[in-house]
Amino acid sequence: MTNTSDAPDTPDGPGRVTAAELPRLRRRTSAVLIASQILGGLGVPIGIALAPVLATEVSGSEALSGLAPTASVTGTALLSLPLAALMTSRGRRPGLVLAYLIGALGAGLVVLSTLVESFPLLLLGMAGFGAGSSANLQARFAAADLVEPGRRGRAISTVIWATTIGSVLGPNIAAPVGQVFRGTAISEKAGPFFFAAGIFLLAAVVVGVLLRPDPLLTARALAPQNDESTSGRSLRSGIAAVRASAPARLALVTVAVSHTAMVSIMVMTPVDLGHHGAGLQLIGLVISGHIAGMYAFSPVMGWLSDRFGRLTVIGLAVGLLSCAALLAGTAGPSHGRTAAGLFLLGLGWSAGLVAGSALLTDSVPQPARAAVQGLSDLTMNTAAGVGGVIAGVIVARASYGWLNAVAACLLLPMAALALRRVLTRSAAPAVPATPDTPTAATAPTEP
């Protein structure tokens, strides 16, 4: 392979990377992303745990408590496209740094809102806080920029797995951190947001200083000459790339449906458990098991996706999510059955997110990838936000069982598209895969 020192799209020097240096750069990039993901994982769960409580305190109404987490989800969705546009034009590093900085600013506004007792300022802060989630989501795609297609599933899943550490530690350190602010103007419940702001700032520094050369710009510089055009890097071109690719449409639906089904069932499970006599400790254990299913087993899903194919793991996601809805929806007073359902719900989400993200990256041209990936995060978070709101209405008007039935029905388009893709591939003649990243040996993929 030739050196790409003259590549035009290399503001931080990726053109100096050669094929011999690529394995070391992949390991370094993965390590930096894992570190930032752990830090982001420490900050984001604090908002999930404490936002409704602060919303009740600041607004004086328990009925408005759900608006704070909704604002965070909305912020995550709305920021997906601007951040993707920045990454498309400037690379992963500026986009991730900006996302963490906005998240830190949002956390600071949340603290300020408690001091001035302004509910609108709290909602604005939570919307900015959602940028921390955007950074964590986009990091999984950054992990796939430099790896060969046959290892993308594992690269994505490793970064997702790193979130487990922060997600477990974050809620548990909220109370000790809050006690540090006892006796100050900042309340104990707002104090952890001050801590989260510092964590996001640290993550921004880690990415800004260490994520060099930029993985996306490096991948572009190392891509074949016919992939280096900048004409396909706009968000409009990203949408066109999805419309032109059946596998990309399947991937987009997989990620969005898996996330929506998971969020819709998960947010209402504590309510249903409470209706059947479960205490806070039991509810916490059930949700902890669910989070373990989401993150702890993602490397397994990545290996399965690379070894047996994206479509196989998408089918596994449909099966796991369906079983989860069946178990949770028919559990009634059986807390053990609900716990099993929520664990499978996390596993199904992991399978869908890992395989869908890998297939999406496989299925669109290199120049359009960042834009398409931003579109994916916008779609999944918007759909999940709407699903979370509708879930509460369904439970209030019907039951938790009906909610699970509706969530299972959401899986039908995903299953139909996957089956159609399987039939299309089995009928089409085999075409040798062309790797778009330098590698000595590349496993087959399913674009």
Q: Please name the residue that has the structure tokens 């929506």.
A: 260
Amino acid found at 214: D
Coil, strand, or helix at residue 9? coil
**Tokens at 48, concatenated:** 């999930």
The reported pLDDT for the residue numbered 9 is 43
CA distance 27 to 24: 5
The reported pLDDT for the residue numbered 440 is 38
Which string of DSSP letters, residue by residue, matches 394-431?
HHHHS-HHHHHHHHHHHHHHHHHHHHHHHHHHHHSPP-
Would you state the torsion angle of the CA atoms of residues 162, 165, 166, 171, taken in this order, to the nearest 10 degrees?
Answer: 150
Closest C-alpha to 68, from 58, 50, 55: 55
Any idea how long the chain is? Answer: 447
272 contacts: CB under 8 Å, gap ≥ 6: 338, 395, 400
Half-sphere exposure for 39 (CA within 13 Å, toward CB): 26
**Tokens at 90, concatenated:** 């400037």
Q: How many Cβ atoms sit within 10 Å of the Cβ of residue 247?
A: 22
Coil, strand, or helix at residue 278? coil
102 contacts: CB under 8 Å, gap ≥ 6: 79, 128, 131
Would you state the torsion angle of the CA atoms of residues 187, 193, 198, 199, taken in this order, to the nearest 10 degrees?
Answer: 140
User: Please, what sign has the CA dihedral across residues 217, 222, 228, 233?
Assistant: negative
Q: pLDDT tens digit string along 46-98?
A: 776 677 778 888 988 866 776 787 788 888 888 888 888 899 889 999 999 99
Rounded to 5 degrees, φ, ψ at 148 are -70, 155
Q: Please name the residue that has the structure tokens 């978070």.
A: 381
| Alpha-carbon distances of 331 from 19, 248, 277, 322, 324, rounded to whole Å | 54, 36, 13, 14, 10
The reported pLDDT for the residue numbered 413 is 93
Q: Are 91 and 146 in contact (CB under 8 A)?
A: no
Give kind and range of the element (H or E) at residue 225: none
Closest C-alpha to 194, from 208, 215, 216, 173: 173
CA distance 445 to 435: 9
CA distance 220 to 228: 6
The reported pLDDT for the residue numbered 251 is 96
CA distance 306 to 127: 36
| pLDDT tens, N- to C-terminus, the chain (447 residues) | 434 333 444 445 444 677 778 889 999 999 999 999 888 888 887 776 677 778 888 988 866 776 787 788 888 888 888 888 899 889 999 999 999 999 999 999 999 999 999 999 999 999 999 999 889 888 888 988 998 889 999 999 998 898 777 776 766 677 677 788 888 888 888 888 988 999 999 999 999 999 999 999 998 888 765 444 445 556 677 788 999 999 999 999 999 999 999 988 987 888 888 888 888 678 768 877 888 898 889 999 999 999 999 999 999 999 999 999 999 999 999 999 999 999 999 999 999 999 999 999 999 988 888 889 888 988 998 888 888 778 888 988 999 999 999 999 999 999 999 999 998 887 766 544 444 444 433 333 444
CA distance 91 to 369: 11
Show the CA angle centred on residue 147, arms to residues 81 and 239, nearest 5°: 30
Q: How many Cβ atoms sit within 10 Å of the Cβ of residue 431?
A: 7
